[in-house]
Amino acid sequence: MPNIVSTPMHGVARRLTRTLVVGGVATLLLGACSSLLDVDNPNNVTPNALDNPTAAGALVNGAINLNANALSSMMNAYNIISDESFQTGSRDDYRLLDTGGLDINTNEYLQASYLVAMRARWISEQAMQKVAKFQADGSLADPQLLAQAYLMGALIYDEMGNMYDDVAISDRTVAGPNLGEMNMVQVYDSALKWLDLGEPIATGDNHANIVGLRARVRFDRAVWLMLNPPGTTPANPLVNDPQAVADATQAISEMSGDYIYDLLVDNTNSGDDASGGVGFEMNSRVEHTPDTAAFVTIDLTNKKPKAIIAKDPVTGLVDAAAVKMIGRFIFASDINHPPMAVVSKREMYLIRAEAALAAGDNATFDTNINALRAIDGKAAYTGTGPTRLQLLQWERRINLVFQGRRLNDMYRFGIKDPRWLSTSIAVRKPGCLLPIPLLERDANTAITGTPVCQ
Amino acid sequence: MPISGRYRAALTLLVLPLMAALAPVLRAQDAAGVGTIEGHVRAQGTSRPVEGAQVHVVGANMDATTNADGVYRIANVPARDVQLRIRMLGFASVTRNVTVQAGSTQTVDFTLSASAVQLEAIVTTGTAGATEVKRLGNTVATIEPPTFAPIRTASEMLQGREPGVVGLSSSGLVGEAMKIRIRGNASLTQSNEPIIFVDGLRINSSGASNANATLSNLDAIDPSTIERIEILKGAAAATLYGTEASNGVIQIFTKQGSAGPPKWDVTVSQDFSNYPTNRIDDNWGVPTRAGQLDTLKKLWGRNDLALYTPFSEPLQRKYFETGSAQTVQVAVTGGTQNLNYLVSGNYSDDDGPWAAEKLGGLAQDVVRRSGGRTSVNFFMTPKVRLGAQATYSNTYANRPQYGNNIYSPVTLLEFSKPDLGNCANSDPTGTDPDFGVQAPGVCKIAGNPTGSPNAFGTPRETAQKLAEITGDRFISSMNLAYMPTASLNVTGLLGVDYLSQTVTNFQPFGYNIDGVIGDDVYGDKGIQDTNNRQITLDVKANWTRDFLTSFNSAFLAGVQGFLTKVKYPGSFGYDFPGPGISRTDAAGTQQAYDGILETVNGGYFAQDQVAYKNFLYLTVGSRYDYSSAFGKSAAGVLYPKASISFVPSDLAGFHVPSVSSLRLRAAWGKSGRQPSAFAKFTTFAAQTGPSGAGLRPDNLGNPDLKPEVSTEVEGGTEIGFLHDRIGIEATYWKRRVNDLLFGLQYPPSGGFTNAQLTNVGVMDAHGTELALRGFVVQTPDVSLEAFSNIAFLKQKVVSLGAAPELKTGGSYARIRGYIREGYAPGEFFGAKLKQVPAGSLPYDINKDGVPDTEAEMLAFLSVPRDYTAIFNGSVIMTEDGINSDLGKPTPDYTGSFGANINFAKNWRVSSLFEYKGGHYTYWCLICGFRNASPVGTNSKLFAQTRATLLNPASTAQQRLDAAKVWANDLASLTPYQGLNEVSNGDFLRFRELSVTWLAPRSVASRIGGRDVSFTLTGRNLFLWTKYQGVDPEVSYVGGGGQVGSDGSYVNENFVESIDAFGFPLPRRIGLSVRIGY
């Protein structure tokens, strides 16, 4: 036995042993003190804090900011599918979208947009529920917060219908089933329900926004019904929804000047997903570039837009509406975070004009289209030059540019992006939108059915 | 700063019991007479003095270390019969009985015989105090730093020296952090880095990252201060370290002072490095238009260019240079028998082989480190030793944006296509007859001469960006050892590791000097501070006693705690008002960040080791651990262990021909890995925006969360032959990790889109480690020591419960490693070319679902086609989409071999070769870019293929042949991720070579020195591999470089075999001069 020498304990050692035993016990007791484990980590908010009425503002702001984020992320995936922009960068999954391959459910930009959209949906619903409860309890200091919560809930549901073929509605860990591709009209119905609840509460701009968004949702719902089931171009692509027209008329009366309700994305909102948001991807990283056939010229050195060249089909001059609406997106003061339009007076005129055209009421069409053109000082349309249908398509294209309307317009008007491959889903099945991403399908056992759009 | 109650409590834990124990002792100091022991220590066979041998008086806190002459001296030894034991790694230990007489000096010389088996070496990590290796049933590997090896960092010291311990180099960027893996991966989502201690103090060994360039905090430790490193390889050995130890434990022991007059050691080194350009393909392009051809002739000054004729420019090599690094290390040690000290300082300046200055920006490739260390040991009495260590280090790193990063000048040079080069921005009117070209490859004012992908910027612009990491680190500890009797030993340690690190990114106002880049052209700056304070408290008592007649017990009990607090404030601003300003508060838009993370881990442990005679040892022990990650009311976790060691060769009468030592051992134990601090709780994070501060769902939370638990069993043997001149060590181990912490993705539609850590399943691993060492020749003139080791590893994800598989790389489509049941973690899945009948090609241009025939393809290729025509639209047919099994990212085996030779009395040559292999798949992402991406496509083979496809003069058959090359060798990335991107990653690398001349004493004395040596070193001298990329050690991300926003280490753990835009490891040649005074 090496190096171990047994030494009889003497008195000192015994005292030592006792001391050590006492010390050891004290050590154990002190170590067990739970205060050592009670650490201070003030970085986040716990769930019960959201039940405090003072959290109403934070909930609604969270919904607004996440909706802004979601719009930025969704437009990043969506714009490049349509002919509004095309791929110029390095990322392969943009190329898939650009060439009409929007049915690939592993696409990273689809996934990124879906994640942010689902987060926005959930927090918007939380905001509606909790703030409505505060209102019922009489503890809500500012009822306009509830109106804004309904506005955000309706917005994200409307955008889900416009962007995705199908969605699932789950809650935290509880998986919810998908609505089904043929049932997506329900998201518009939900949006309308909330807007109806919000409308009596809202005042001022909130009221204009709610009524305007309701017009938009009704219009988008009609477009969805027109394009589904997907696979054909509708014989009559025009929407004439009287309730949409009525809401648009009401909204116009409440909107002054060139009224646009924007959601603003700040720097902390971008980069919250796989991309940096549409502004960064388009204007800084230049992964995609605005359409050079109709919209802009670009600097061949850096592929950034140099000038807006979109021509007004009526006058043949550079279209002032295009200069404004494209310009505010690509030449924004903060190019990484351009404004994300939600509701505009321009769109209200377009809804009324289209309904009139669908009804064969050229005079009303001209009245509304010229009211729209007057916003930018453009010459009135008198029936010469482009047809009314052509003019409607053009005005929609530039007045709603980068707002997530173009792909459905292309589908219903039978327009194909020259970059779409003939074998792509965009060509084969007009009306098909982005699918539920694989990430959701893998995680959600409640999802059933096989996508129609594949 | 006031001390909080928590830290007062921690201090009390250490001081109270020790002071209570000390008080009576200090009154009862031994007043007996003392004497001195001194002598020489030499190596048997060579008769060379042995430097660094530890001479120890058994049963007392009295030690000495031999100097370069092999001389030791221990004063104040109690005048009585004592045992003197001498140990030295690589030699058999020797024990002598010595009678010390008061006032006299005993001379005791030793001759040590080299031993390839180290059963009597002393280890202290994870054991009951200082323990002989043979008493442990588990392996405790010991690495002695090779004296003259080409080692500049602590990480390099670990690389290739111990089977099962792997240093993953990451890449050849100067300062890039190495990842350390021991026995593979014991966790899917938590860090697989071992925990690291320095002299008993746990340190923060995480890496830092800036702009995808990583920096190791472990490497802030001056390698010259390291005396030895002990490694616990897994749960069977690391149980006493409890939670977080399942990936092993590395303990670094630093050099301590030795008694005597001051002795100075000075080392000055000069290294040169360069990249092995033979493995880097030039940048290729193909002129396809007449106007383009004219421009290119002017731009490159080449009249030999022709349409449809590939040409190349060395755009990457042009920015390489010979790197230069200087290192100075100074140490002085001395003292009395009662108090010794060691003070050292170091400075190193490493300017890597990337020629940053040629781009004229703020980006460089330099890493500078400096620091100092003080160690004092005070032997208050023969029974009480008080030690204190303090280390300060400063780190400065300035490297370019790097890795998979479109704003990296390195990446943009790799992307650059010489056929797209132009100086248009120097000739905006298009009227300059020189096309804006000043000289070949250089524009007069601005432009994109290299033809980098237009949208992203030019290398010159992105080199304007500054990416710095600065760090100040202070490591200090105080330890007390008290041995009231020969059988009782109490030790305590209290220490702190404080790291203040700042990561700065700055792009100046107007840095878009070529008019290409568009990102924040009015400048921006981001600062992220990290203030990391880690406190270690460790108190333990070790009581040894004999009982019955043949038994001995060594009982250990103690408490250990780690208190970590990290604060990370930061700010960001963009749009500066003008040039020259670099403050975030001067920017037009400003943001501030803040955060605090505090965690406390701690536990009690106890162990008893029972020995029967001197050949059988049984150890049982356990640790009970708490962690703040589970809340203050959560119960702890018990980690038990047991081991047995049997040494037949210590049995009386043992005789097996040629076998001089034999030991059999087995161990079983558990250890854990806890989740990140908040993973258990549901939280909402701030979601700011112009409308005001809001909230968003953040962490879903899991109240049932618990640590993942690793259970490991190992068995092995050590066998010595021919008087231990040849030794074999073999270990088989098997590990199961239960309750795997997995990032379970709940339906994103539930609102909480981040994956939630959940205990879901099981991962298994097993392996074998073999080490062979032999002292082949031992004569006074020549000695030769050869060594070889190999470690086999198999890992499999057994179960993920109900969780879906997990893709590594997040949503990034180009990375397709998977955590999937039944496969190795990180297994690659991607596209594999469809096998087609003879006469057909794996193309479906006509989209009829059937492979096109050669006749159909000939018809299609009867006219010129660009490569996109046989790429876009999923026209290439694959076997199973992108779901074919392409291989695993970890090799079956890793190992090293080498030799140390002494000859001609004063010459030493040491070498180390390292290898990996066996079903080892390396994913070359950069190859995919250079072969098939629109922003790359600049490889030679691509240029040749494209030229053939486009050239109107090509025949259809030539285009068909080109199409075959395209499908079989080039087509990659979406929608064919993995196709032509994976290849065999096996390699053999000549890692280290050193040639040392030890100047004769007569020469040294002429310059007043004690000893002088000159060493010529080489590192990473040669690489043998079939890997298609530049280097199978270039990894997607370096150590500590990619931790997910949810705290997940999945990417850090499993994208290690993906090569993306990194520099190859540079060859390094150096000269060191060491002088001792």
pLDDT score at B19:
43
Model confidence over B93-146: pLDDT tens digits?
A: 888 999 999 888 989 999 988 888 888 888 888 775 788 899 999 999 999 888
Residue B578: pLDDT over 70: yes
- Phi/psi at B675 (nearest 5 deg)? -75, 175
- Greatest mean pLDDT range, A16-25, B771-780, B834-843, B1053-1062: B834-843
ipTM for this model: 0.91
- The distance of A135 to chain B (nearest Cα, Å) reads 19
pLDDT score at A301:
76
How far is residue A132's CA from residue B733's CA, in Å, rounded to a whole number? Answer: 60
Among candidate residues B202, B208, B203, B198, the one with its CA nearest the CA of residue B1039: B208
Model confidence over B455-487: pLDDT tens digits?
A: 689 999 999 999 999 999 999 999 999 988 888
pLDDT score at B1042:
60
- Please list every residue in chain A whose beta carbon sits closer than 8 Å to the beta carbon of residue B678: 41, 43-44
pLDDT score at B898:
97
Residue A219: pLDDT over 60: yes
| A317 token code pair | 């001059």
- Out of B13, B677, B873, whose CB is closest to A31? B13
Inter-chain touch A62–B687, beta carbons under 8 Å: yes
- Which residue in chain A has the smallest CA separation from B446? A301
pLDDT score at B1:
38
The count of CB pairs under 8 A between chains A and B is 362
- Out of A19, A38, A61, whose CB is closest to B693? A61
Q: Which of residues 527-586 of B touch A (CB under 8 A)?
A: 539, 541, 544-546, 552, 557, 559, 561, 563, 572, 574
Torsion, Cα of A133, A139, A142, A148 (10° steps) = -10
Inter-chain touch A24–B17, beta carbons under 8 Å: yes
Model confidence over A358-379: pLDDT tens digits?
A: 999 999 999 999 999 999 999 9
- The distance of B496 to chain A (nearest Cα, Å) reads 17
Q: What is the mean pLDDT of residues A231-235?
A: 96
DSSP B968: I
Q: What is the mean pLDDT of residues B552-574?
A: 93
- Which residue in chain A has the smallest CA separation from B17? A23
Inter-chain touch A44–B678, beta carbons under 8 Å: yes
- Report residue A2's pLDDT band, with 50, 70 and 90 as the boundaries: very low
| Interface check B429 vs A, CB under 8 A | no
Q: Which of residues 325-344 of A touch B (CB under 8 A)?
A: 334-336
- Which residue in chain B has the smallest CA separation from A148? B691
- Please list every residue in chain A whose beta carbon sits closer than 8 Å to the beta carbon of residue B746: 170, 172-173, 175, 443
Inter-chain touch B453–A90, beta carbons under 8 Å: yes
| Interface check B274 vs A, CB under 8 A | no
- Please list every residue in chain B whose beta carbon sits closer than 8 Å to the beta carbon of residue A46: 681-684
- Out of A58, A114, A115, whose CB is closest to B695? A58
- Please list every residue in chain A whose beta carbon sits closer than 8 Å to the beta carbon of residue B545: 6
| Interface check B510 vs A, CB under 8 A | no
Model confidence over B777-820: pLDDT tens digits?
A: 988 889 999 999 999 999 999 999 988 899 988 888 899 999 99
- Report residue A45's pLDDT band, with 50, 70 and 90 as the boundaries: confident
Cis link prior to A229 (omega < 30° from 0)? yes
| B782 token code pair | 């020549």
Inter-chain touch A301–B515, beta carbons under 8 Å: yes
Torsion, Cα of A323, A327, A333, A336 (10° steps) = 180
Residue A271: pLDDT over 80: no
- Report residue A40's pLDDT band, with 50, 70 and 90 as the boundaries: low
Residue B22: pLDDT over 70: no
- Out of A58, A96, A335, whose CB is closest to B974? A96
Number of other CB atoms surrounding residue B732 within 10 Å: 16
Model confidence over A67-122: pLDDT tens digits?
A: 999 999 999 999 999 999 999 888 889 999 999 999 999 999 999 999 999 999 99
- How many angstroms separate the Cα of A450 from the Cα of each of A94, A102, A108, A146? 24, 16, 21, 38
Inter-chain touch B751–A111, beta carbons under 8 Å: no
- Which residue in chain A has the smallest CA separation from B595? A43
Q: What is the mean pLDDT of residues B398-422?
A: 93
What secondary structure does DSSP assign to B729-743, as a single string?
EEEEEEEEEES-EEE
| Interface check B633 vs A, CB under 8 A | yes
Inter-chain touch B454–A119, beta carbons under 8 Å: no
| Interface check B270 vs A, CB under 8 A | no
Q: Which of residues 140-169 of A touch B (CB under 8 A)?
A: 167-169
Inter-chain touch A170–B699, beta carbons under 8 Å: no
pLDDT score at A274:
46
Q: Which of residues 25-54 of A touch B (CB under 8 A)?
A: 26-28, 30-31, 33-47, 49-50
| SS3 state of residue B928 | helix
| Interface check A171 vs B, CB under 8 A | yes
Inter-chain touch B20–A268, beta carbons under 8 Å: no
Residue B943: pLDDT over 60: yes
Residue B87: pLDDT over 90: no
Inter-chain touch B749–A302, beta carbons under 8 Å: no
Model confidence over B430-451: pLDDT tens digits?
A: 899 999 999 999 999 999 999 9
Residue A13: pLDDT over 80: no
Q: Are B719 and B727 in contact (CB under 8 A)?
A: yes
| B493 token code pair | 């340690």
What secondary structure does DSSP assign to B803-871, as a single string?
PPPEETTTT-TT--EEE-TTS-TTEEEE--BPP--TTB-SB-TT-SSSPPBHHHHHHHTTS---GGGGT
Residue B1046: pLDDT over 80: no
Kindly give the pairing relationship between strand B637-646 and strand B311-313. Answer: unpaired
How far is residue B771's CA from residue B790's CA, in Å, rounded to a whole number? Answer: 7
- Report residue A7's pLDDT band, with 50, 70 and 90 as the boundaries: very low
- Report residue B26's pLDDT band, with 50, 70 and 90 as the boundaries: very low
pLDDT score at B8:
47
Mean pLDDT score across all residues of chain A? 90
pLDDT score at B934:
82
- Out of B17, B486, B810, whose CB is closest to A7? B486
- Please list every residue in chain A whose beta carbon sits closer than 8 Å to the beta carbon of residue B486: 4-7
- Please list every residue in chain B whose beta carbon sits closer than 8 Å to the beta carbon of residue A424: 873
Q: What is the mean pLDDT of residues B761-767?
A: 97
**With the C-alpha atoms ordered B874, B877, B883, B886, is the resulting torsion angle positive or negative?**
negative
Inter-chain touch B454–A88, beta carbons under 8 Å: yes
| SS3 state of residue B254 | strand
- Please list every residue in chain B whose beta carbon sits closer than 8 Å to the beta carbon of residue A171: 750-751
Inter-chain touch B696–A44, beta carbons under 8 Å: no
- The distance of A276 to chain B (nearest Cα, Å) reads 12
**With the C-alpha atoms ordered B958, B963, B965, B966, is the resulting torsion angle positive or negative?**
positive
- Please list every residue in chain A whose beta carbon sits closer than 8 Å to the beta carbon of residue B611: 1
| Interface check B697 vs A, CB under 8 A | yes
Higher pLDDT among residues B1011 and B1014, named by residue? B1014
Inter-chain touch B520–A168, beta carbons under 8 Å: no
- Out of A44, A64, A89, whose CB is closest to B455? A89
Q: Are A199 and A212 in contact (CB under 8 A)?
A: no
- How many angstroms separate the Cα of B792 from the Cα of each of B165, B731, B767, B939, B984? 11, 10, 5, 36, 17
